[in-house]
Structure 1
């Protein structure tokens, strides 16, 4: 894990910039601090965490298909995935059209895409519970796993799943975790619903990317900590458990 005090714009940041450019009025985050925010981490300057940004080398990648204003929300955790996982791609979802770059990515022979979605909503023959082993017979030898995540509220994600026929050929990875969500910024009505960053961490674990999974978990905890402290106008404690855990995961160099 390396630190990036001045992080370059990543896929989600670039998508946010594009979305803001065509907005007809300023986006106001509901419930968050009204102060000016850092462009690198979306927190107010006093609680900025850009210097803590971890980048972990991974073989696996993540493709975020984001609902209309998801990239604009300061509480969005897809942003955290793009901070940590270098091969993170981000696309805005639209019902009537699809970005040609997304279609090209899904067809790229270096990747084996998995659409991550609950298996109960999918035909059984499409569902897998683990990352498939590379098989030379079916052309998957040497392919890197690409986890396709629908970054949206649960009702939006279900709509996106139903109305995206270009995803219908992908195997559906159905996560079977007993872990309860710890995300405290936008609480789902069901504790078993994970935020996007938590889903990515579970996927990384399945792909054998244990260090990336642990880093995503720790980074989410630090982000949640700082976001809530900023909202409540409270000072930071750099020696609390969340910050210590993230520091402990830092790779040398």
Structure 2
């Protein structure tokens, strides 16, 4: 069944007047699901982890079309992943419904220096299983865009203004290799999701996202350089280790359409 990001991509393609050509990417046929050439397809490796936390992706206009986008990886791993296209002049009503759903506690994930101090938080509540109650589930809102686009989205989305801003303070540098950035403290969307899952106590999801990104990077770069996949290499072994113990699958997720 298509997940939220693939549905958003299909809707964006339906509005396109010309084919999207990824800058610097390979021009061969791609798998519709993993965006890799068939010889390097990684669909058979797709993991799924039961989580109490959810992810809401606000995606810049062409972000779902980019083959290097890592929001896809989050939607593959985390069942309760929601994806919406961002526009300055209009807001998807389904997004507002999601943000108002009483089961969720939304957090806008963004550097704290860009928000009023009273909005900034640096921790989230642990899973209910560790508290013995049934408080709201954390919903991490990630602005999936270039850094300049993300700052504009943060400033021009008034429906986000009442929400707490989760400011991450990672003690590592980004391992993302598929797009260039001049700063080591700029993380790709999948890495940000892994950091959020760590704060929420979702360590299986955290480790799976990290390992899945490494596998995707391996497949993408080897396809680009026309090299075979090392199926028993470090990246694939790490993913297998991360998914050896799976929690019980959750109930059917709530759909917002």
TM-score bucket (shorter structure): over 0.9
What's the offset of the Cα at 1:187?
2.2
What are the residue-to-residue correspondences of 1:187-226 with 2, within 5 Å? 187-226=180-219
**Which ranges of structure 1 fall in alignment gaps of 5 or more residues?**
1-7
Distance 1:187 1:81 in 2: 21
Please point out which of 157, 176, 187 is paired with 1:183.
Answer: 176
What's the offset of the Cα at 1:127?
0.2
Please point out which of 148, 155, 167 is paired with 1:162.
Answer: 155
What's the offset of the Cα at 1:33?
1.2
Matched residue SS, 1:55 = coil
Distance 1:9 1:141 in 2: 30
What's the offset of the Cα at 1:132?
3.8
Distance 2:243 2:122 in 1: 30
Distance 1:106 1:224 in 2: 32
Maintained 8 Å contact 1:131/1:206: yes
What's the offset of the Cα at 1:250?
2.1
Cα deviation 1:172-206 (Å, max 9, x = unaligned): 00001121000000122111110000000000000
Displaced runs of 4+ in structure 1, greater than 4 A?
A: none
Distance 2:109 2:26 in 1: 32
Aligned residues, how many? 242
Q: What is the RMSD of the two structures over their aligned residues, measured on CA atoms?
A: 1.5
Maintained 8 Å contact 1:134/1:143: no
Please point out which of 52, 73, 78 is paired with 2:45.
Answer: 52
Question: Aligned residue for 2:242?
Answer: 249
Question: Aligned residue for 2:146?
Answer: 153
Maintained 8 Å contact 1:12/1:89: yes
Cα deviation 1:70-112 (Å, max 9, x = unaligned): 0000000000000000000000000000000000000000000
Please point out which of 212, 223, 226 is paired with 1:230.
Answer: 223
Distance 1:169 1:204 in 2: 22
Matched residue SS, 1:239 = coil
